[in-house]
């Protein structure tokens, strides 16, 4: 395959041979295999991606204890980071040894130690509870180890090892975001470039930045231990929240590890004293679009910010608005999992001072919606899903119809209406006007988008279920959908559950007067935010 011009590096990468590495000390061979030999070995393997120019599968040579990672997407930065962390941590974290690297015909080749084992991605489903907790505890110690590293020079910076630009996949297409950002205000420079507004104190720590299940290698025995952490291509010096946020944000191939197992893995990390060090006050950032960080705050700050926003014009900009509700809100220690404290409704003077008139509060709601949906983008971030809220709204409509008709559904089905929502979904797919699976899904997505364009805020409550269900809608049946709906109930913060419950009640009341559904959604949300987040106005 002919490389594109962007991969024909203008600078030549000099070959590097690590003479003191075990490969040469033990005399496994007089020299490392040449790039052409590696390509030939890969081609002879018969793999479908063996000829990929950008990211072919690595080549394993067990007789030499050697693995070669190569391609146009591979950089020497990864080899340098891997060597630096391995050397500085001195065995605290199992990292494959680097033997050398070179570049040939636009492809970088990294020669490293072959570590035998299974990925956590492959093993997680069949691991018992004790082994899962053991793996999480091991990972916690390793994360703590590399976060304890300090920068060599006295000038702090955000960047890859040795002052190079960052290699994070969410930043690499934006040259102005990769840095390095140097000086005492390095964090502020980085936040300003990315459009991130974080009020809390933040420090710079070394970060793997791709700590996901495929990059964690376990031993093959029945009581596995972590034998390697691989893929250091994105590693570098980042703000201290980046490791946790990236690990929560990155999605894996659902064919290898199901969405349900991904959610369980993330939940296990939280329950096992947090494999990824929890940062008080931070939530998962929307690392898409302009990298808006949805920083969680306590409820008092939320009230104050929304009240302040409500004083601005209806055309409020949302670039710096970072208030959002999430299950990871903390008012105390990083390990706290307590719910948000309710407002003291008895303090009427304070509440009256903070509460804005209904018309002005609408501007704050729109600003909050803008942050969550990514107002500067042509569509909401994919992580919120394009299918799930369609189910929720159709289920809500069904609930309204049921109440009007009385006793259409048995009482025990009232809780989630999962079966109703599923049937409506299947009916939408089977619309005669749409003959292909893709066109049916587009129809559903279009109907969903029209239904919720007034309030992406609702989407936040069902985002986890949306991610799971939207990936494999064709495989779903009533059982899987019902399970996803029930899982969503557990994932939704209590305050947002209350908002949605109140919205349902409002919709039911207004439906009796034939109020248009878009008005129910729009006005109902504003009422709910006022009632559930700010408390009732008192005369």
Which tens digits make up the pLDDT trace of 176-208? 888 899 988 888 888 888 777 665 567 899 999
Q: Where in the chain is the domain with CATH 3.90.1200?
A: 118-280
CA distance 475 to 536: 45
Collapse the DSSP code of 162 into the 3-class scheme (helix H, G, I; strand E, B; otherwise coil) and give the result.
helix
Give the chain's mean pLDDT.
60
Provide CB contacts within 8 A for 59, sequence distance 6+: 38, 41, 42, 45, 67, 68, 70
Assess whether pLDDT exceeds 50 at residue 410.
no
Gap between the terminal Cα atoms of the chain: 74
Q: Give 14's pLDDT tier (boundaries 50, 70, 90).
A: low
CATH of domain 16-113: 3.30.200
65 vs 29, 34, 61, CA distance in Å?
A: 11, 16, 6
Q: Looking at residue 172, what is its pLDDT?
A: 77
Question: 375 or 204: whose pLDDT is higher?
Answer: 204
Q: Looking at residue 219, what is its pLDDT?
A: 93
Element (H, E) at 268: helix 259-271
pLDDT mean over 108-117: 95
Lowest mean pLDDT among 222-236, 326-340, 373-387, 475-489: 326-340
Q: Looking at residue 471, what is its pLDDT?
A: 52
Q: Where in the chain is the domain with CATH 3.30.200?
A: 16-113
Q: Looking at residue 90, what is its pLDDT?
A: 83
Provide CB contacts within 8 A for 317, sequence distance 6+: none
Q: Looking at residue 85, what is its pLDDT?
A: 93
Q: Which CATH class is domain 118-280?
A: alpha beta
Do residues 241 and 202 make contact, with C-beta atoms less than 8 angstroms apart? yes
Q: Give 13's pLDDT tier (boundaries 50, 70, 90).
A: low
pLDDT mean over 30-47: 88
Other C-beta atoms within 10 Å of 3: how many?
A: 14
Assess whether pLDDT exceeds 90 at residue 116.
yes
Q: Looking at residue 500, what is its pLDDT?
A: 47
Q: Looking at residue 231, what is its pLDDT?
A: 93
Q: What percent of the chain has pLDDT over 90?
A: 18
Q: Looking at residue 226, what is its pLDDT?
A: 93
23 vs 29, 37, 63, 80, 312, CA distance in Å?
A: 8, 18, 12, 17, 65
Name the range with the highest mean pLDDT among 13-27, 411-425, 502-516. 13-27
């Amino acid at each position: 395959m002919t490389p594109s011009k962007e991969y024909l590096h203008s600078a030549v990468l000099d070959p590097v041979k690590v003479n003191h590495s075990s490969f040469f000390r033990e005399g496994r061979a007089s020299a490392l295999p040449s790039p052409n030999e590696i390509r030939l070995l890969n081609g002879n393997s018969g793999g479908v991606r063996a000829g990929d120019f950008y990211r072919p599968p690595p080549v394993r040579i067990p007789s030499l204890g050697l693995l070669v990672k190569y391609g146009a997407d591979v950089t020497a930065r990864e080899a340098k980071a891997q060597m630096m962390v391995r050397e500085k941590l001195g065995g605290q974290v199992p990292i494959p040894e680097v033997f050398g690297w070179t570049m040939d015909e636009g492809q970088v080749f990294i020669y490293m130690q072959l570590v035998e084992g299974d990925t956590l991605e492959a093993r997680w489903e069949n691991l018992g509870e004790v082994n899962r907790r053991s793996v999480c505890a091991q990972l916690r110690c390793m994360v703590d180890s590399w976060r304890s590293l300090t920068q060599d020079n006295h000038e702090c910076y955000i960047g890859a090892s040795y002052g190079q630009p960052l290699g994070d996949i969410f930043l690499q297409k934006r040259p102005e975001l990769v840095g390095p950002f140097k000086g005492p205000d390095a964090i502020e420079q980085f936040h300003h470039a990315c459009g991130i507004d974080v009020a809390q104190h933040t420090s710079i720590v070394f970060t793997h930045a791709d700590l996901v299940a495929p990059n964690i290698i376990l031993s093959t025995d029945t009581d596995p231990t972590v034998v390697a952490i691989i893929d250091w291509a994105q590693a570098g010096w980042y703000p201290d929240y980046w490791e946790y946020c990236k690990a929560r944000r990155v999605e894996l191939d659902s064919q290898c590890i199901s969405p349900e197992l991904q959610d369980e893995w993330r939940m296990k990390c939280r329950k096992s004293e947090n494999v990824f060090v929890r940062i008080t006050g931070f939530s998962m950032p929307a690392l898409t679009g302009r990298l808006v960080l949805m920083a969680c705050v306590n409820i008092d700050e939320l009230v104050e910010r929304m009240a302040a926003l409500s004083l601005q014009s209806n055309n409020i900009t949302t670039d710096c608005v970072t208030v959002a509700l999430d299950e990871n809100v903390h008012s105390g220690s990083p390990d706290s999992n307590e719910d948000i404290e309710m407002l003291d409704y008895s303090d009427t003077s304070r509440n009256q001072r903070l509460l804005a008139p209904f018309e002005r509060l609408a501007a704050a709601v729109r600003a909050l919606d803008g942050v969550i949906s990514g107002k500067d983008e042509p569509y909401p971030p994919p992580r919120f899903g394009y299918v799930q809220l369609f189910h929720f709204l159709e289920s809500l409509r069904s609930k309204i119809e049921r109440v009007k008709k009385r006793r259409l559904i048995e009482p025990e089905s009232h809780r989630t209406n999962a079966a109703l929502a599923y049937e409506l979904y299947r009916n939408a797919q089977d619309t005669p006007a749409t003959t292909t699976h893709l066109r049916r899904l587009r129809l559903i997505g279009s109907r969903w988008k029209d239904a919720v364009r007034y309030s992406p805020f609702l989407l936040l409550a069902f985002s986890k279920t949306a991610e799971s269900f939207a990936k494999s809608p064709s495989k779903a049946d009533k059982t899987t959908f019902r399970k996803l709906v029930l899982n969503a109930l557990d994932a939704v913060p209590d305050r947002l559950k209350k908002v949605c419950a109140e919205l349902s009640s409002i919709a039911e009341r207004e439906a009796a007067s034939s109020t248009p559904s878009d008005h129910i959604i729009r006005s109902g949300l504003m009422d709910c935010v006022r009632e559930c987040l700010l408390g009732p106005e008192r005369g």
